[in-house]
Amino acid sequence: MTVPRPLLALASAGVLALTAPPARAQPLDEPAGHAIVVGLDRDYPPYEFVDAAGHPAGFNVDLTRAIAEVMGMTVEFRSGTWAEMRAGLLSGEIDVLQGLTYSQERARELDFAPPHAIIQHAIFARRGTPPVASLDELRGKKVIVFGGGIMDETLTGRGFGADLVRTGTPADALRLLASGQHEYVALALLPGIHILRELHLTNVVPVARRVAVERYGYAVKKGHGELVARFDEGLAILKQTGRYDAIQERWLGVLEPRGPGLRTILEYVSLALVPLLLVLGGTVLWSRSLQKLVAQRTASLAREVAERKRSEEELRQHQQQLIQAGKMAALGVLVSGVAHEINNPNGYILLNMPILKAALLDACEVLDARRQELGARFELAGLPYDRMRAELPQMLDEMLAGGRRIKRIVDDLKNFARREDAPALEPMDVNAVAAAAVRLVDVSIRKATHRFTLELGRDLPRVLGNPQRIEQVLVNLLLNACQALPGPERAVRLATRHDPARGEVVVEVADEGAGIAPEDLPRLTDPFFTTKRETGGTGLGLSISATIVKEHGGALQFESAVGAGTTVSFALRAISTEAAA
């Protein structure tokens, strides 16, 4: 399969424009038939570019067209430089970028869909240049980067800014290196290989692969999450139907490393035959030399094949986990809506129940008189009046208490589901947060064990933190503890205490479950690592919990013995009474 060759020079000059820019990008709630404006970097093959005929092409373009087809959307491609496309997205002239590498910095102003590709970044150099193995080894050297790209942002963030040479396109970066200027180029691997082949830059090669692995996918301006969800749903359909694999193979499969060609094999054979004809006695020596060379090349190819398979498996796992994370985020929004709907009718119960009780007490005087007239034959709702007279007030009190419990649970769910990108820290009561977490997972606890204990320390000082985030940590730890129990006779304990010597409030969650293998303990907080994948574990819970505790100045501590159980603890710095006030 031949990849259409982009007009790099024309595209760089801005000659190719697919559409005239509208005055602004329209919001999603406009009438049906509105075209979604998709930003296209015209110089980023094979992912997206403008081909020789002036048409949008590439992996991202075919993917977007297929998603638009299955989702019934109309899309309009807008081409330009990378800087113009990103500025257009932020200004509202463009609705969505179809190819953007994720970073925490970018996520502050953009919403990202789960990735449709994992991009490996590499270091390129001229042949004969001393090789490097990582980005850190580039320190002090002149490095060419695609201006505004993720490598530019990454190296600038590491303090490389003074040694960076920025260009307008990836092709410009590789041309500059091939011309003998500067030392290295940091660039995405597949675009780099594609450009080297198209421009015949034979004196430039990748000297370090996989120096960085980044998620790559659709992105919209903050607040347009509905549009991201539509593209995500379409992408899931393409993967299930096999169209995603076909598009990926068409554009990206052709750039994978190939085995030695016929010409290379003939060269190796000639190296063996010529010495054989010249000096018969050198046959053994040359044969061994050739065998060693072939073995090295075969081992190299085997490593590349294994690396590709490993990358594809990592991509598959990451995509599955991110899809699950997306579902959980959607569930949080759903919980907030359901909680609101429950609160409304429950409010009527809480408002009317005291009035009903007061009315009953006022009516009792009349009913008592009626009881005197009819005697024991007097019934109320088909039951003896004496029994109803004694039990009705208690029944109303129980109904009122039940309504209040519903309100507490709903409030806890709303607080737990509320999203806070930059949560404010405030003086908080750890015991109150622990009690709220227990209420949220009460059903799971009662199903998992008959021996749950809540030990709240007395007179705990307040700590500076975010109650919602700490509650999220405790919910996750309690659910993990419940899932670790082999039977309900094993115990789970949540305890808080004050450590005056260290000035800290300590929280512990202990279980008598199966325990954790010693080799798994150091990896428990790694993203996507889980020992419960067959039961639906995502490997994100402890990673997120560790991050939250670290934001509060603490760290998760694990103690475990196989077959005996696990204890997870963390400590938060106590604040003075004056500060808490």
Residues composing the chain:
581
Closest CA to 318 of 217, 248, 225: 217
DSSP state, residue 117: E
Tokens of 235: 């992408």
Indicate if 405 and 450 belong to the same structural domain: no
Do the domain assignments include residue 353?
yes
Do the domain assignments include residue 267?
no
**Could you give the CA distance from residue 95 to residue 90 in angstroms, rounded to a whole number?**
9
Indicate if 457 and 475 belong to the same structural domain: yes
Indicate if 495 and 567 belong to the same structural domain: yes
Task: Give the pLDDT confidence score for residue 164 in this predicted structure.
Answer: 95
Closest CA to 566 of 520, 529, 526, 528: 520
Range of the domain at 359: 332-417
Indicate if 549 and 530 belong to the same structural domain: yes
Indicate if 561 and 509 belong to the same structural domain: yes
- Report how many domains make up the chain: 2
- Pairing between strand 204-221 and 96-101? antiparallel
From 417, 437, 459, give the residue that closes a domain: 417
Indicate if 479 and 554 belong to the same structural domain: yes
Task: Give the pLDDT confidence score for residue 128 in this predicted structure.
Answer: 92
Do the domain assignments include residue 444?
yes
From 393, 417, 441, give the residue that closes a domain: 417
Do the domain assignments include residue 65?
no
Do the domain assignments include residue 339?
yes
Question: Average pLDDT for consecutive 10-residue bins of the chain (581 residues)?
Answer: 37 35 36 78 94 94 96 94 92 94 92 93 95 93 94 94 93 96 95 94 95 94 91 94 94 62 56 69 79 87 87 74 61 66 79 84 84 83 84 83 75 61 80 92 92 93 91 92 92 95 94 89 74 55 85 90 92 80 58
In angstroms, what CA-CA distances link 517 with 482, 559, 561, 565? 18, 11, 7, 11
Whether the link from the prior residue into 46 is cis, omega within 30° of 0, is: yes
Indicate if 479 and 497 belong to the same structural domain: yes
Indicate if 382 and 525 belong to the same structural domain: no
Indicate if 536 and 513 belong to the same structural domain: yes
Side chain identity, residue 350: L
Indicate if 467 and 541 belong to the same structural domain: yes
Indicate if 479 and 339 belong to the same structural domain: no
Task: Give the pLDDT confidence score for residue 400 in this predicted structure.
Answer: 81
Q: Indicate the SS3 state at residue 123.
A: strand
In angstroms, what CA-CA distances link 149 with 145, 228, 310, 562? 8, 22, 26, 47
Task: Give the pLDDT confidence score for residue 229 in this predicted structure.
Answer: 92
Do the domain assignments include residue 576?
yes
Task: Give the pLDDT confidence score for residue 340 in this predicted structure.
Answer: 66
For the CA atoms of 533, 535, 536, 541, what is the dihedral angle to 10 degrees? -70
From 417, 437, 465, give the residue that closes a domain: 417
Do the domain assignments include residue 475?
yes
Do the domain assignments include residue 306?
no
- Pairing between strand 110-112 and 204-221? antiparallel
Task: Give the pLDDT confidence score for residue 255 in this predicted structure.
Answer: 60
| Angle, helix 59-71 to helix 243-251, in steps of 10 degrees | 160
**Could you give the CA distance from residue 107 to residue 215 in angstroms, rounded to a whole number?**
12
